[in-house]
Amino acid sequence: MPFAYLCDFDGTISPSDIGAAMVRHFSAGREGERDAVLARWFEGGLGHRELTRLECDLMTVTEAEALEFARTFRLDPHFAPFVREALGRGDAVMVVSEGLGFYVRDHLARAGFPELPWAANALVFEDGGRVHPEFPFLDPACESCGNCKAQHVRRYRGRGFHTVLVGDGLSDRCGARAADTVLARGDLAAWCERERLPHVTVEHFGDVAEFARQRDLAAPLPRPSRTAGRSARRA
């Protein structure tokens, strides 16, 4: 059976959360509002879709400024070799993000994968530096997410793939619940521990590649970590 790797972007493919960094950078002077919104999300009072809307309301940025800022970040150096190896083996790889499509698309193209499938939220740039989000991958069955990762997991399973969710943050929870296998780090790994959701702890895409090579389960897999710190990684 072929495997499908559904990979989070911010905090996973990009070790840094580009979207969160962009909100901090382009909402200078509104730290109190920003922290209050983020606290509501961490406490469960907001879904990620509403979090994205409120954070976009705080920003003032042009498209050129946003792209220039996003390009200061780098991808996990193990990601490109993993993708080439997985595709060469006949597996599928898709990027599933609760971040913003303009930088997901740009980073994938600059990494040499312009045709790799991806799904993310959209950012619309308006006059005067105002921005607002759109949700082209909204799943009506999910009341919380802008781009619910579970829908992509279900689609690949329906096509006959064993599904693997690779992620690091709380926005990966729907996808993790739906996936056949979860490879987790950071907040997602800590959440899996609390929920007793079976998972394999990884630190980077070198670990994901090693898991993929051992996928027949004949070789021992890494043991789940029992420690994971809280972070601000979300998407």
pLDDT tens readout for residues 183-233? 999 999 999 999 999 999 999 999 999 999 987 544 344 433 333 333 334
Q: What DSSP string runs through the chain?
A: --EEEEE-TBTTTBSS-HHHHHHHHHTTT-HHHHHHHHHHHHTTSS-HHHHHHHHHHH----HHHHHHHHTT----TTHHHHHHHHHHHT-EEEEEEEEEHHHHHHHHHHTT-TTS-EEEEEEEE-GGG-EEEE-TT--TT-SS-SS-HHHHHHHHHHTTPEEEEEE-SGGGHHHHHH-SEEEE-HHHHHHHHHHT---EE-SSHHHHHHHHHTTTS-SPPPPPPS-----S---
Per-residue pLDDT tens over the stretch 110-163: 999 999 999 999 999 999 999 999 999 999 999 999 999 999 999 999 999 999
Per-residue pLDDT tens over the stretch 8-55: 999 999 999 999 999 999 998 899 999 999 899 888 888 999 999 999
List, in order of start, the domains of the chain with CATH numbers.
3-213 (3.40.50.1000)
Angle at Cα 96 formed by Cα 143 and Cα 207, nearest 5°? 130
How far apart, in Å, are the Cα atoms of 27 and each of 31, 50, 102, 143, 193? 7, 17, 19, 27, 34
String of b and e for 29-46 (b: at least 16 CB within 10 Å)? ebeeebeebbeebeeeeb
Q: Report pLDDT for 137.
A: 96
pLDDT level of residue 83 (50, 70, 90 thresholds)? very high
Residue type, 97: S
The strands making up 92-100's β-sheet, listed across from edge to edge, are 131-134, 118-125, 92-100, 3-7, 162-167, 181-184, 200-201
Per-residue pLDDT tens over the stretch 102-112: 999 999 999 99
Average predicted confidence (pLDDT) for the chain: 91
